[in-house]
C-alpha cells in the first residue's frame, strides 16, 4: 500500500515527530511504501494567493475556487503544489500528523489543504463531484494528532500513546 504522511510540526523531537517516525518505521517494516511531506522542513508556503495563479482567468476579482479549476484545465499549477498533488494521487492512504494548537491544526497544514486540494483536482464543483463521488473517493485519510507533549505526559502515558498509534498504523 502507498502511504503519504503529511507532517505539520516544527520540532522533529516532539511527540508528533516521534509518532511520525514510528509510523514511517512501522509502515515500512510492514512492507508499505511511504512518502513524507514534512511541511516545516519543506518551508511550505501556507498562503493561497494570487501568486499561485499566473494565468488568471479574471484579473479584476480573485476567486480562488474558479482560478483553481482554470489552473487545472490549463496545466498551470505551481510546481510545489503539483508535486504534492502527485503524492496524493500516488497514495492509497494519507496520514495527517499534527498537534492541536488553539483548538485547531497548525496554519501550515490548513495552507497545504487550501493549496493542494484544488477544485478540479480533489473535487469539482461544476460537476458536483465532491466527497463520495469525487476524484479522490477511493482515498483513505487518517488524521492523527497530539494534544500533549512529552513534558505533559508521564513515561507510561507516552508509551501507551505510542503503542496505541502503532496498533492503528499496523491495521491500515
3-state helix, strand, coil in the chain (%, to 5): 40, 20, 40
Contact 115, 48 (CB under 8 A): yes
pLDDT beyond 70 at 144: yes
For residues 172 and 168, give the distance between their C-alpha atoms in angstroms, rounded to a whole number: 7
Which range of residues forms the domain containing residue 21?
Answer: 2-170
Rounded to 5 degrees, φ, ψ at 26 are -65, -45
11-15, 32-36, 72-76: segment of lowest average pLDDT? 11-15
**CATH number of residue 64's parent domain:** 3.40.50.360
Residue 150: half-sphere exposure toward Cβ, Cα within 13 Å: 9
Q: What is the pLDDT of residue 60?
A: 94
10 Å Cβ neighbour count for 25? 13
pLDDT beyond 70 at 143: yes
- DSSP of 121-137, one letter per residue? TTBBTTTTB-STTSTTT
1-15, 49-63, 101-115, 119-133: segment of lowest average pLDDT? 119-133
Mean pLDDT of 142-150: 68
Q: pLDDT higher for 50 or 170?
A: 50
Domains of the chain: total: 1
Q: pLDDT higher for 137 or 49?
A: 49
Q: What is the pLDDT of residue 150?
A: 54
The label of the residue with cell 503503542 reads 163
| This model's pTM is above 0.95 | no
Q: What is the pLDDT of residue 71?
A: 96
- What residues pair up with 142 in beta bridges, in sequence order? 95
Per-residue confidence at 2, pLDDT binned at 50, 70, 90?
Answer: very high
Amino acid at each position: 500500500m502507498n502511504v503519504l504522511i503529511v507532517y505539520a510540526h516544527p520540532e522533529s523531537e516532539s511527540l508528533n515527530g516521534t509518532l511520525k517516525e514510528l509510523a514511517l518505521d512501522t509502515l515500512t517494516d510492514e512492507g508499505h511504501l511511504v512518502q513524507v511531506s514534512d511541511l516545516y522542513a519543506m518551508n511550505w508556503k501556507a498562503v493561497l494567493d494570487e501568486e499561485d495563479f499566473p494565468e488568471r482567468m479574471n484579473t479584476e476579482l480573485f476567486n480562488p475556487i474558479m482560478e483553481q479549476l482554470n489552473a487545472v484545465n490549463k496545466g498551470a499549477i505551481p510546481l510545489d503544489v503539483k508535486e504534492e498533488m502527485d503524492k496524493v494521487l500516488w497514495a492509497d492512504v494519507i496520514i495527517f500528523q499534527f498537534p492541536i494548537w488553539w483548538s485547531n491544526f497548525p496554519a501550515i497544514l490548513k495552507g497545504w489543504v487550501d493549496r493542494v486540494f484544488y477544485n478540479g483536482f480533489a473535487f469539482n464543483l461544476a460537476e458536483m463531484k465532491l466527497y463520495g463521488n469525487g476524484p479522490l473517493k477511493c482515498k483513505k485519510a487518517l488524521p492523527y494528532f497530539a494534544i500533549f507533549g512529552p513534558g505533559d505526559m508521564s513515561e507510561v502515558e507516552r508509551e501507551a500513546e505510542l503503542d496505541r498509534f502503532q496498533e492503528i498504523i499496523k491495521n491500515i
